[in-house]
Amino acid sequence: MRRLILALLLLPCLAQPASAKDELAIGVTQFPATLHPAIESMLAKSYVLAFAHRPITAYDAGWQLVCMLCERLPTIENGLAKAEGKGVAITYTLKADAKWADGTPVTTADVVFTWEVGKHPQSGVASAELFRRIQRIDVKDAKTFTLHLDRLSFDYNAVNDFRLLPAHIEKARFAAAPAEYRNRTAYDQDSTNPGLYNGPYRISVVVQGSHVVLEPNAYWAGPRPAFRRLVIRAVENTAALEANLLAGGVDMIAGELGLPLDQAIAFEKRNGARFAVVYKPSLVYEHLDVNQSNPVLADRGVRHALMHALDREALSKQLFDGRQPVAHSLVPPLDWVFAGDVPAYPYDPAKAAALLDAAGWKAGAGGMRRNDKGEALALELGTTAGNRSRELVAQVLQSQWRKVGVEVRLKSEPPRVFFGETVTRRKFPHLAMFAWYSAPESVPRSTLHSGMIPTAENNWSGQNYTGYANPRMDALIDAIETELDRPRRKALWRELQHLYATDLPALPLYFRADAFILPKGLKGVEPTGHQDPSPLWVESWRWE
């Protein structure tokens, strides 16, 4: 599953100075729309929960799948995974000493309950497909269970999105009204309940739109974290976030949700002696989701024209010092399945104009385009407010499209509104600019399969916000998941990228690099470059 990814006044410092050595204040650019592990796909939520809620499995900084809440990673080679017909049986054992932060053991009862929530058609979870594939769960004892999946996929043992829910807290809420559960979860109504968290930290304070405070989980049995208190502070304006760092309001800025690259480069030139700036190329795909149900954008020729009207190479060079490569499809060059020969859309305003002419949008007075009904070719581009880089990019796109006669109105919303409502419920009329943060070789079922289009009927489950539906894309996704032979799988990936670049369900912009801005005394922070963020290994963070 992919992750999505105010005020100009300085915020009061909630944490003690860094010299206290047992406290850390972290600045991020977004506040989570929810804290529920399975509902919605906002990176801000994933980042906060990484300190307090452990997945069963995750990809580490070396892009290797590892156990986090389990004792041993099941594989066919070690006998813990066994093919059964077209499916597979996978046996996991939860860590013997894993407990929720109220002292309740993490058990297979939580596993079964989480599955019941995930597979319910009205629960509204983001990764519903994962739960539907689980045909049954055999419980051996309080810690060991076997998942029976309906297919043997190449990533069969990666259950990163099977984020356990505490049955002793959430079961009654869910049973009372499954369709209303996403609005009744304790993660949002009782966020500081320690029984919701099983990681090294627990959430102790939540001030909506402002900050989250975390304190150590007294029942955490792993290596003890170094900090007595963590404060994660959301400052949705990146200029204000930088000012807060310099004034001591925060000790560091998270790379996953921090300053855009251009701002970070300028910051390092001015403040490199005081802070360490670490750049991490990542699997972050900046793009424009296209509402396919809009009759104007449903025309593939119009989408091709919009691409040819953009000079993305110049944009990358001017804004990002050429460090963020132009994207031609959804798979980054860092991924082993990347195909370098997909159809590209070089800057060609003449070709863009010809395509718009062919689609019935003729240039008129002032060069702006209208159809034979006199309707103007006018689009709305929505994105997150406060991100200086994204706002600059939006202005560049607006200017370049205007040169070929396309009028674009920019609309910015706070991230919690943009992701929590506008994107998730497909309320954007034309274009939505944001980024997907994915795992290595992440199959885009949730974002491209026709069965994953969020609707009111499925309680807005799924991440195919564009409404894209192509039977061949569906078939390719199904085939990739079950192809165990790497060369054959790479060939299928190549076809998928070609189809994506031809159909353009989204308009590719560039692949991002993350900039981590850290105090020089902070050690152990290791960027991953993918959707499993660095705080999953917060036990290694420390002051020196």
Exposed, middle or buried by CB within 10 Å (0-12, 13-18, 19+), for 376? middle
299: its two tokens:
């025309």
pLDDT tens for residues 199-258? Answer: 999 999 999 999 999 999 999 999 999 999 999 999 999 999 999 999 999 999 999 999
CATH topology of domain 3-54+191-281+514-543: D-Maltodextrin-Binding Protein; domain 2 (3.40.190)
pTM of the predicted structure, to 2 decimals: 0.84
- How far is 293 from 277, CA to CA, in rounded Å? 42
- Structural domain boundaries of the chain? 3-54+191-281+514-543, 57-176, 282-513
pLDDT tens for residues 463-502? Answer: 999 999 999 999 999 999 999 999 999 999 999 999 999 9
Q: Dihedral of CA 503/506/508/512: which sign? A: negative
3-state DSSP call for residue 40? coil
- How far is 376 from 21, CA to CA, in rounded Å? 60
- pLDDT category at 19 given cuts 50, 70, 90 is very low
Question: Which H, E and C letters describe 47-64, residue by residue?
Answer: HHHHHHCCCCEEECCCCC
- How far is 56 from 160, CA to CA, in rounded Å? 6
pLDDT tens for residues 73-99? Answer: 999 999 999 999 999 999 999 999 999
Report yes or no: 452 and 445 within 8 Å, Cβ to Cβ. yes
- Which one, of 453, 419, 432, lies nearest residue 382 by Cα? 432
Query: For the chain, percent helix, then strand, then coil, each to nearest 5?
Result: 30, 25, 45
Residue 330: C-alpha distances to residues 266, 506, 510 (Å): 28, 9, 9
- Which helix (H) or strand (E) segment holds residue 485: the answer is none
Question: What phi and psi values does residue 282 have, to the nearest 5 degrees?
Answer: -140, 175
Q: Which amino acid is at 538?
A: V
- Residue 3 is predicted with a pLDDT of 53
Tell me which DSSP letter residue 147 carries: E
Position with higher pLDDT, 298 vs 21: 298
- Which one, of 122, 95, 116, lies nearest residue 106 by Cα? 95
- Residue 15 is predicted with a pLDDT of 40
Position with higher pLDDT, 524 vs 439: 524
Q: Which CATH superfamily is domain 282-513 in?
A: Dipeptide-binding Protein; Domain 3 (3.10.105.10)
- Residue 129 is predicted with a pLDDT of 84
- Please give the angle made by the CA atoms of 167, 172 and 178, to the nearest 5 degrees: 100
pLDDT tens for residues 366-377? Answer: 899 999 999 999
Question: What phi and psi values does residue 175 have, to the nearest 5 degrees?
Answer: -60, -30
Exposed, middle or buried by CB within 10 Å (0-12, 13-18, 19+), for 9? exposed
- How far is 287 from 305, CA to CA, in rounded Å? 16
Measure CA of the first residue to CA of the last residue in the chain; give whole Å.
36
3-state DSSP call for residue 158? coil
246: its two tokens:
């310099």
Question: Which H, E and C letters describe 168-192, residue by residue?
Answer: HHHHHHHHHCHHHHHHHCHHHHCCC
3-state DSSP call for residue 349? helix
* Cβ atoms < 10 Å from Cβ of 310: 25
Residue 376 CB-half CA count within 13 A? 14
- How far is 326 from 333, CA to CA, in rounded Å? 10
Q: Please count the helices (runs of H) and the strands (runs of E) in the chain.
A: 16, 21
pLDDT tens for residues 407-464? Answer: 999 999 998 899 889 999 999 999 999 999 888 899 999 999 999 999 999 888 889 9
Question: Which H, E and C letters describe 397-445, residue by residue?
Answer: HHHHHHCCCCEEEEEEECHHHHHHHHHCCCCCCCEEEEEEECCCCCCCH
Q: Which CATH superfamily is domain 57-176 in?
A: Dipeptide-binding Protein; Domain 1 (3.90.76.10)
- pLDDT category at 7 given cuts 50, 70, 90 is very low
- How far is 276 from 268, CA to CA, in rounded Å? 8
- Residue 107 is predicted with a pLDDT of 98
Pairing of strands 431-437, 3-4: antiparallel
- pLDDT category at 38 given cuts 50, 70, 90 is very high
- pLDDT category at 35 given cuts 50, 70, 90 is very high
